[in-house]
Amino acid sequence: MGWGGRRDGQVLLGPKSCKTIHFKKGHPRPMRPFSPLSRKPLLAIAFVGIFLCLYNIASHPRVSQTMQPSAYYNNNDERVCLPQRMLTMHPPAKKAKAAFVILVRNKEQQDIAETIVNLEDKFNKNFKYPYVFLNEEPFTEAFKSAMRAASPYADMQFGLVPHEHWSYPSHVNETYAAQCRERMKEEGVLYADLESYHHMCRYQSGFFFRHPLLDSYDWYWRVEPGVRFFCDITYDPFLYMEKHNKKYGFVVTLMELRETIPTLWETVLKYAQSRHIALDRPGRLFPYFRDTSGDYNLCHFWSNFEIASLDLWRSPSYRDFFNYLDKTGNFFYERWGDAPVHSLGAGLFLDTDEIHYFEDFGYQHDLYRHCPSKESGLACRCECPQGTTQQSIDHDKNWDTCLPRWREWLKVSSKDKKTAWNIWS
């Protein structure tokens, strides 16, 4: 008989009944070491432990199967939605040489303060990147105090735009520029009658990255007064771009107003020809901006949000490109914007796979909004408005979005690049 076998009135201990213990009737019989009664508390504890383990697994942020734990816990350089408690317990240890860059005026104090509070909540409370504020006029002490109140622990610098970067160059006829503004006003060209708007577009196109306050940085995140972020950003987009060899990042791609840039495309093509740039080299970004007739399709990256390499604009190639455009005077005679200038400049000098679409960012500027779709699985605790209202337009579905073309272009570009590799292999 096996261990603990029993007959009426006795308990046998050990194999082959080495010893017999007798007990009287009516007395409680001795319990086995783990009787059904004693096992219940242990089973309950085990059940609770298994439940908590499964709950933690289920609530853990979803990551790709190839991602290693050290990558998203320690390096923060992969796109992932982490619990806030994880970032609190393990603050990011590594940072890029990067800063927020904000061109803003004193009168926009309230709007930019609200934006900073929002940006700190969604991202920078964990990553603690500095802010660089730029203005063509000196910042007031009230403005500086309001910014520090919006983010008490952030590093902030306040810079003055050099006069030579916010004034008419010698080759521009100011009288003719004023006449052009008046004509464009009559024609209803958006913002064209605002002299300061022309200076702003020229500055953002060719000068902001030269400001001494940016000399120590490699990357920038452009922020505009009044913009809003809707989703938590729990990884470092700068480190992500460094790791994946990206040079320019956007959230919204849309069509430009043709009346603002009547000669820009023609000028860019002339520049490319004069510099012997192969616009159709496999992998190059430039054909994304061209329609089937060879004309500009008006698509561009909306530059009120940019995360990009400062070295892209600092490069001799881009500076040469900007100088060529600037010599035309059409930042003042027309209403060339920095968004198409940046976009076409990137098209000339970058490959498609050096561009990153921040699809996971929920973002709104003016009325136009982008939020990650449910199908994408990229949303991280988003608080996005639904549909299109008078206060917020779902731009991914708007008539002037270029997002479907961008998605199609990624497929075409990848196919063309693979074909080119096969030819040379």
**75 CB-near residues (< 8 Å, 6+ apart):** 94, 239
**What amino acid occupies position 258?**
R
**What amino acid occupies position 271?**
Y
- Whole-number Å distance between alpha carbons of 160 and 324: 26
Q: Are 249 and 307 in contact (CB under 8 A)?
A: yes
- Whole-number Å distance between alpha carbons of 313 and 117: 29
- Whole-number Å distance between alpha carbons of 165 and 50: 65
Beta bridge partners of 20: 12
Helix 316-327 × helix 338-349 angle, to 10°: 140
Measured from the Cβ of residue 177, the count of other Cβ atoms closer than 10 Å reads 17
Could you give the residue ranges of the DSSP H alpha helices within 249-329?
A: 264-274, 310-314, 316-327
Q: Are 94 and 238 in contact (CB under 8 A)?
A: no
Any idea how long the chain is? 425
Measured from the Cβ of residue 356, the count of other Cβ atoms closer than 10 Å reads 19
Question: Three-class SS of residue 364?
Answer: strand
Paired sense of beta strands 248-250 and 355-357, if any: parallel
Catalytic-residue membership of 306:
yes
- Whole-number Å distance between alpha carbons of 133 and 122: 20
Q: Which helix (H) or strand (E) holds 144?
A: helix 141-150
Cα-atom radius of gyration of the chain, to the nearest Å? 31
Rounded alpha-carbon distances, angstroms, from residue 350 to 152, 195, 315, 340, 360 = 38, 32, 12, 15, 23
| The pair of three-digit structure tokens given for residue 126, joined into one six-digit string | 């964990």
- Whole-number Å distance between alpha carbons of 302 and 255: 9
- Which is the catalytic residue, given 78, 256, 306, 334? 306
Active site residues: 306
